Structure 1
């Protein structure tokens, strides 16, 4: 291939001004370093813990620390609200930001509760009526190997997708004793959301007909680790294409990563992300092409997610990571959790279509 698709984050020449809600570890380690590196202006911050907000503001040159989220939402100098908080209360924050006339980037997972989806859709409809953009921080979409793979799949580089496979060949992050370990089926409900989301991007155009998920404890897993360390998800679609996502456990390796394969009717993409394993190659016919990659998921992916929202605002269109597009990811995740909760019984979603994100046409049905 002679023309390599532009897979790097896009930032408009004059980006809208960002206000950050939340001052936790992810804001310090990912959001703000990414925004600083890509010159995304963060002009205000608010947090439940004012001291954390002041510390972040001092370290990253943020001009204004607001005492409350309401104060931040009332700030006329802020155009976009970056909600970098946990799932609890996230919908309330999205709704308040929309009511205040702000565009929104919401942390993932967008929702973990099926009961709140009708209200979420109503909030998104209200935002659309007001010309506001609500996007989701699905930052892994801009991990270099995954982003380039998405663009190549959309260009027809492998023909029609036949199957997607992911293997988690790396140690798990620390889970025992953390709040994440209190989340039922945590690996499926939270950790694998990025893998679910990128997989749906590669299966665009298909109806999901079945979702099957299992999790289980593994040999020598510490008693203190309450959540299972093995998890697997299988997705079947109306086209016959399928997907498999597998975490074998807390893999003992110093040279691992997260390899993936996208098999198509005319070729194969194979690659990996994380732990410095990043690569992507296309095999088609007698030719095999390995693409040079720049950047890393952490932290360029965070610039990609915010940059896409800022670019969409500047171009007056829906972002690729629009919340309405990500709703299909939410429904896939909820189906996987329901399957795991039932001991691996397949779940058959109704009218779950993996539509393509494109210029104002993002939708899940």
Structure 2
């Protein structure tokens, strides 16, 4: 029994968190959510132990070691604090907050968790999407030399947005949807650079409404983020709009001084190749972002707890990605004015290396 309890039972918990934990043998003590939603939890997921009446009931259960906070962003920071005060490790959904004013609170929670001997991770599950994960491991091995550029192109339709709560989030593509892309790009710039040189020092972003976009949609459907690292390396993340494609996917390139990684994620487009200038090798991949990435995020936290170390997807790491997200939002709000992110401490412990195959 892994001692995991899921707090919040919305669409993502039902479609990704619990299926991932069931498939990968991660024991779930119980689930807490709105009664009208949790009525069928035990029938749909027989491996779940119980349904909690409320948050207090969950936090007082001695069998719960780790709380997977799968609620919406409002109030999420307060829930992290409550879990720590109850002596529980935490995996929090991303983004941990949409309020830049809560960053100092998050930094204090990092210190509080350390004082209590607890671990807080963030569900940046895309880091374990097979093409992205393999790319990260190859970069750590130095297989393309030093990174000089990262490019992402969102070549697929946007998910349904109009009329949803996501559409009411200001600059939603920049402050929620693209956070996965911002986070993995930040990691690749760090993984593929000399210490300190991969830190992003400049962010430019634009978002805009497009021809054909429904009149009642609130958010722009196009967004572009450009980041510059201290080394001079640059990264671009682009959603040209809700794409029309017979073979949709999200293509990416990582160019380095000695090689190039090319790949794609999502919608059965998963692929990754390594080109060293003499030959291009197609690399084997297994699994998929949905739902294996969710098991990867929780599995990294559970492994870190067992090994008494900080998880790779730690709250400290997530704060660094949030700083870039807020910089992109501020740049777009100013019509694309360059924004320097707030300084972020660099990791002080090496990340684990796995077999990239």
> Shared topology, TM-score over 0.5?
yes
Corresponding residue of 1:12: none
Corresponding residue of 1:319: 311
Pick from 267, 270, 285: which aligns with 1:278? 270
Pick from 25, 35, 50: which aligns with 1:50? 35
CA contact (8 A) 2:4 2:67 kept: yes
Corresponding residue of 2:49: 63
CA contact (8 A) 2:253 2:260 kept: yes
Q: Provide the C-alpha distance between the structure 2 equivalents of 1:350 and 1:250, rounded to a whole number of angstroms.
A: 31
In the TM superposition, residue 58 of structure 1 has moved relative to its aligned partner by: 2.6
CA contact (8 A) 2:59 2:86 kept: yes
Pick from 237, 246, 267: which aligns with 1:254? 246
Q: Provide the C-alpha distance between the structure 2 equivalents of 1:146 and 1:116, rounded to a whole number of angstroms.
A: 29
Pick from 115, 121, 126: which aligns with 1:140? 126
Corresponding residue of 2:114: 128
TM-score (norm 2): 0.94
Corresponding residue of 1:296: 288
Q: Provide the C-alpha distance between the structure 1 equivalents of 2:350 and 2:293, rounded to a whole number of angstroms.
A: 19
In the TM superposition, residue 356 of structure 1 has moved relative to its aligned partner by: 7.5
Superposition map of 1:77-92 within 5 A: 77-92=63-78
In the TM superposition, residue 343 of structure 1 has moved relative to its aligned partner by: 1.1
Q: Provide the C-alpha distance between the structure 2 equivalents of 1:151 and 1:128, rounded to a whole number of angstroms.
A: 27
Count of aligned residue pairs for this structure pair: 345
In the TM superposition, residue 54 of structure 1 has moved relative to its aligned partner by: 3.0
Structure 2 residue matching 1:163: 3-state secondary structure: strand
* 1:63-86 CA-partner distances (Å, limit 9, x unpaired): 221111111011001100000011
- The question of 1:99 aligning with 2:91 is answered no
Distance 1:303 1:203, change over 3 A: same
Corresponding residue of 1:187: 173
Residue segments in structure 2 that go unaligned for 5+ positions in a row: 191-195, 353-357
Structure 2 residue matching 1:171: 3-state secondary structure: coil
Q: Provide the C-alpha distance between the structure 2 equivalents of 1:354 and 1:329, rounded to a whole number of angstroms.
A: 12
In the TM superposition, residue 130 of structure 1 has moved relative to its aligned partner by: 1.0
Corresponding residue of 1:237: 229
Q: Provide the C-alpha distance between the structure 1 equivalents of 2:108 and 2:320, rounded to a whole number of angstroms.
A: 16
Q: Provide the C-alpha distance between the structure 1 equivalents of 2:6 and 2:83, rounded to a whole number of angstroms.
A: 12
* 1:162-199 CA-partner distances (Å, limit 9, x unpaired): 00000000000000000000001000010000000000
Corresponding residue of 1:74: 60
Structure 2 residue matching 1:275: 3-state secondary structure: coil
RMSD over equivalenced CA pairs, Å: 1.4
Q: Provide the C-alpha distance between the structure 2 equivalents of 1:17 and 1:68, rounded to a whole number of angstroms.
A: 17
In the TM superposition, residue 107 of structure 1 has moved relative to its aligned partner by: 0.2
Residue segments in structure 1 that go unaligned for 5+ positions in a row: 1-14, 361-365
CA contact (8 A) 2:2 2:28 kept: no
- The question of 1:166 aligning with 2:152 is answered yes
Structure 2 residue matching 1:105: 3-state secondary structure: strand
Q: Provide the C-alpha distance between the structure 2 equivalents of 1:59 and 1:87, rounded to a whole number of angstroms.
A: 26
TM-score (norm 1): 0.92
CA contact (8 A) 2:89 2:119 kept: yes
Structure 2 residue matching 1:292: 3-state secondary structure: coil
Q: Provide the C-alpha distance between the structure 2 equivalents of 1:356 and 1:256, rounded to a whole number of angstroms.
A: 39
